[in-house]
Chain A
Amino acid sequence: MAGAAAGGLALAALPGLGGRSAEAAGLLTDRTAGAASAVANQGKSVTIALSAEPNTFDPHLTVGRNTQIFIANVFDGLTARDASANILPALATEWGFLGDGASWQFKLRSGVTFHNGDPFNAESAKFTIERAIDPATKSTISSELATIAGVDVVDASTIVVRTKQPDIMIPNRLSELYGGMLSPTHTMATDAAMLATKPNGTGPFMLTEWVKNERLVLQANPNYWRGPASISQITVRPILEDAARIAALQTGEVDFVANVPYERIAELEANPNLTVKTIATPRVFFIGIDPRVTPFNDVRVRQALNYAVDVDAIISALYLGHATRLATAVPTAAFGYDASVTPYPYDPPKAKELLAAAGYPNGFSVEFDSFTGSIADHSKPAEAIVEYLRQVGIDVKLNVFEFGAFGPRRVANQLSPLHIYSLGNAYFEPAWAIKWMMQQNLGLFYRNEEVYALCNQAEATFDPSARVPLYARVQQLLKDDAGFIFLFQNDAVFAMNKKVSYDPRADETQWLYPLTSA
């Protein structure tokens, strides 16, 4: 139910503006945790190892989640999230939907400065958002802000974001992933190479050194508006190879590592000097079914597929238990997640019965596309699923592509009737992900009109509490109509020595501000 509380507060003032800020309600606990112990930890330094380094520190040219979840340490968005993915104020102190149907007003924090001393104000916010959507920027994230038409400055600390259509997700979209704020004077006066490597944000850390593929050095911003971070210097080492990264933790070269493979968890947990922490990511795995192809136009066949696959066994065998079974495409941390909608049980006789009822007592033949070489492993779960489908009599031919070859097939709508895919729902708003999964493009051709209409309704419902029942209905319908084989969301695993303390976050962000060291 993440997002409910804070969203509710921020939006309470509908239809006008002036809602209480979530800050006043004491929701900033984990955000301010760092500042509380800041004095005690001044001068402390920590070394961490990640599996990748950012491609750039220009927030509008970021490629891939690995970059976006990291540069949040240098830039602030208008909003932020806590570790459970609730939306919190950041550079905006409060916000609300204006009654005209297509604009959001944000009140901006005053007294905030960029690392170089430039003031943050309404002009900075307008400049940043308009730069992100300007085609001349060739922004890689423009599609995330595509509903925005423009920004108006009301006064020095107030902006209005105009949208092309009503969009409840504007505060989500302008959080740290895609809403990192830039200084207009600095950005316009600086060339592209400098913007990529010498960022100037308002965030808790300043990038003071970047030796590519070797290390990034972050220094705590002494003037940070939340108070300086606990750790005054963080050295970040990108160590691509899992074995080398974990070895670096074991030898004490680094204090903290991300992306621990599941099969290494038991060994690291047995080490008395180390702590392992896991968290469910918002990455949801599913099997796309093309309902334009017989027999998948028959709901009984689609349900049979769901009954046929023992997802729990896949989770325990392939993920060693480090994944969470899902009934639909809505991850547990998403707003409006309904635990009362339970997943299909593993029931092969029931699957065969449904197949027979649909006129396929002896099954049928179908092709299934999977791929390797992407952010997560999709080919191993695909192999297991294929085996389960064969056991109920469906003759499945599995095609495994390299992701670079799978992608163009997907874009050209040349995928087989079954394909595996996953989606990291960065917004934790179900309507966004579900409508994406029903887009009638990119190999996704299932659409349930009732669900789609409910999602549209949710997207036009600015009172979060009123969206909850809509989403409950959506999840029940999604499950019953079985437009996909619903699978699971996987865990992210972090390991650290006992000296440091860090709680991983549901949104995958490597937000280092609350990191502390003994």
Chain B
Amino acid sequence: MTGYVVQRLLLALLVIWGVSIITFFLTFLSGDPAVLMLPPDATAERVAQFRREWGFDRPLIVQYGSFLLRAVQGDLGTSLRHGTPALPLIAERLPATFQLTLTAMVLAILLAIPLGVLSATQRGKIVDLLAMAVALLGQAVPNFWLAIMAILFFAVTLGWLPTSGRGTWLHVVMPAGVLATGLMALLTRITRSSMLEILSEDYVRTARAKGLPGWAVLTRHALRNALIPLVTVIGLQFGYILGGAVVVETVFTWPGVGLFTIQAITNRDYPVVQAAVLILSTAVVTINLLVDLLYGLLDPRIRVRG
């Protein structure tokens, strides 16, 4: 098991390093911060001076080297736009993002599992068809469209929920609901197919044969085993949820890392973009690592193979 953990850990570090390279060089392909930071009438000399002041006149590889050297010491550079270190700027927005993504994940799981189980047990019936139609729609509809429709319906027309922002628990309902849709749809389908598979296993038939009530067969024998693949999917989906949060946070002005990153990209605030992508990808890699390890605990066959 220790060898497995170490191997996974090294792989995670390698991925994060790769992300740092890609992010660093891609941001430089996207444009010149000097052009956006300085007033439109800034002279060519002033632009050159700006590049010198911020070290943008050095060769890219040298800039990357110094970025990496500072990054391993916990310094992810200074925001061009805010003039303060990038790391605390992102750290102070992390709680909002975690609140949103975790709420969305819990919401998705709480809705998807009963719906998937119901679908599986009612296979081919109207409930199943309806649930699958909703799941298909949930995965097909883009977040930004759903978000704006939700604002128009729940905030403007019905007046039930605030349009945007963060504050009371009411504020989190719409963004988390919108963010949860895609994941909920996916989890419903996986729960359904996984349940269907398990319901046809021998041990389920045995459980039924020894006279256990239907609900006990479902929860104690079928669902518990059906949840194992779900754990992996939920872990892997964390990255997608974070990606979706970027869009949802922007539409609802949810003050998290996603919104902040979008603003940084628009403003060519390189250090913030690099720091945000690095932190978010570290979060995704960490969650995936934990899921890998957890899966190994849940299913001994994995760690033997690993």
| Bound Cα distance A244, B247 (Å) | 13
Q: Measured between alpha carbons, how far is A64 from B81 in the docked complex, in Å?
A: 10
Distance between Cα atoms of A405 and B260 in the complex (Å):
21
Contact among B37, B43, B155, B263 with A247 in the assembled complex (CB-CB below 8 Å) = B155
Taking CB atoms and an 8 Å cut-off, the chain A residues in 408-463 that contact chain B are: 408, 410-411, 423-424, 436, 439, 441-442
A495 to chain B minimum Cβ distance, whole angstroms, is 14
| Interface bits B22-33 vs A (CB < 8 Å: 1, else 0) | 000000001110
Q: Which one of B58-66, B235-243, B249-257 contacts A?
A: B249-257
A281, chain B: closest CB distance, angstroms: 14
Which of B257-304 touch A at CB < 8 Å?
Answer: 259-260, 263, 266-268
Instruction: State whether A143 touches B163 (Cβ < 8 A).
Output: no
Q: Does B221 contact A (CB under 8 A)?
A: no
B82: chain A residues at CB < 8 Å are 55-56, 196
Q: Does A240 sit within 8 A of B, measured CB to CB?
A: yes
B133 surroundings in chain A (CB, below 8 A): none
Which chain B residues lie closer than 8 Å to A253 at the CB level?
A: 162-163
Interchain CB contact (< 8 A) of B83 among A61, A239, A408, A424: A61
Cβ of A405 and Cβ of B253 under 8 Å apart?
A: no
Closest CB-CB distance, B6 to chain A, in whole Å? 39
- A59-76: CB near B (< 8 Å → 1, else 0) gives 001011000000000000
B32 and A56 within 8 A (CB): no
Q: List residues of B (71-100) whose CB comes within 8 Å of A's CBs.
A: 80-84, 89, 92-93
Q: Which residues of A sit under 8 angstroms from B250, Cβ to Cβ?
A: 240-241
Partner of A144, one of B39, B83, B148: B39
CA distance A193 to B79 in the complex (A): 12
Are A211 and B255 within 8 A (Cβ)?
Answer: yes
Contact string against B for A residues 127-170, beta-carbon threshold 8 Å, 1 for contact and 0 otherwise: 00000000000101111100000000000000000000000000
Q: Are A411 and B44 in contact (CB under 8 A)?
A: yes
**Per-residue interface assignment for chain B, residues 200 to 219, with 1 indicating a CB less than 8 Å from any chain A CB and 0 otherwise:** 00000000000000000000
Q: Which residues of A contact B163 (CB under 8 A)?
A: 239, 244, 247-248, 251, 253
Interface residues of A in 234-257 (CB under 8 A from B): 237-241, 243-245, 247-248, 250-251, 253
A411 contact from B32, B39, B252, B253, Cβ within 8 A: B32
Q: CB of A213 within 8 A of chain B?
A: yes
Q: Does B55 contact A (CB under 8 A)?
A: no
| Contact partner, B84, options A64, A192, A214, A239, Cβ 8 Å | A192
A241/B31 in contact, CB under 8 A: no
Q: Are B266 and A373 in contact, CB atoms less than 8 angstroms apart?
A: yes
- Bound CA span A247–B164, Å: 9
Judge if A404 is at the interface, Cβ distance under 8 Å. yes
Of the candidates B36, B80, B167, the one whose C-beta lies within 8 Å of that of A403 is B36
Residue B11 at the A interface, CB < 8 A? Answer: no
**In the complex, what distance in Å separates the CA atom of A245 from the CA atom of B164?**
8
- Could you tell me which residues of chain A, from 186 to 223, have a CB within 8 Å of some CB in chain B? 192-193, 196, 211-215
Considering the chains assembled together, what is the distance between the CA atoms of A12 and B259 in angstroms? 51
Q: Are B41 and A143 in contact (CB under 8 A)?
A: yes
Q: Is A402 an interface residue (CB 8 A)?
A: yes
The residues of A that contact B306 with a CB separation of less than 8 Å are none
Bound Cα distance A58, B82 (Å): 10
Residues of the B chain whose Cβ atoms lie less than 8 Å from the Cβ of A193: 84
Given contacts A239-B165, A243-B148, contact A55 B156 (CB under 8 A): no
CB distance from A288 to the nearest CB of B (A): 13
- Tell me if B151 counts as interface (CB < 8 A to partner A): yes
A residues in contact with B267, CB < 8 Å: 55, 63-64
Q: Within 8 Å CB of B40, what residues of A?
A: 423-424
- B166 interface residue per 8 A CB criterion: yes
Given A63-B267, A212-B93, A404-B32, A143 and B42 touching (CB < 8 A)? yes
Is the beta-carbon distance between B83 and A58 smaller than 8 angstroms?
yes
Q: State how many angstroms separate the Cβ of B75 from the closest Cβ of chain A.
A: 15
Chain B residues near A192: list those with CB within 8 A.
83-84
User: In the complex, what's the smallest C-beta–C-beta distance from A284 to chain B, in angstroms?
Assistant: 12
In the bound assembly, the distance between CA atoms of A141 and B40 in angstroms comes to 11
Complex Cα spacing A196 to B167, Å: 24
B168-187 Cβ-contact flags toward A at 8 Å (1 or 0): 00000000000000000000
Q: Is B129 an interface residue when CB atoms closer than 8 A count as contact?
A: no
Query: A41–B35 Cα gap in the complex (Å)?
Result: 44
C-alpha gap A442/B66 in the complex (Å)? 31
Q: A239: nearest residue on chain B (CB-CB)?
A: B253
| List of A residues within 8 angstroms of B53 by Cβ | 138
Chain A residue at minimal CB-CB distance from B81: A55
The answer on a CB contact under 8 Å between B47 and A244 is no
Tell me if B152 is interfacial: C-beta within 8 Å of chain A: yes
Known A404-B30, A423-B40, A441-B43; judge A251-B159 contact (CB<8 A). Answer: yes
Complex A-B: 14 CB contacts under 8 Å:
A143-B41, A212-B89, A213-B256, A237-B165, A240-B263, A241-B251, A247-B164, A251-B162, A404-B268, A408-B32, A408-B35, A411-B34, A411-B35, A423-B41
Residue positions of A touching B, CB distance < 8 A: 55-56, 58, 61, 63-64, 138, 140-144, 192-193, 196, 211-215, 237-241, 243-245, 247-248, 250-251, 253, 373, 402-405, 407-408, 410-411, 423-424, 436, 439, 441-442
New contact pairs (7) apart from A192-B84, A243-B152, A442-B44, CB-CB < 8 Å: A61-B83, A143-B38, A239-B163, A244-B148, A245-B164, A247-B156, A436-B41
Closest 6 CB pairs of A and B: A404-B31, A407-B35, A213-B255, A408-B32, A247-B163, A248-B163
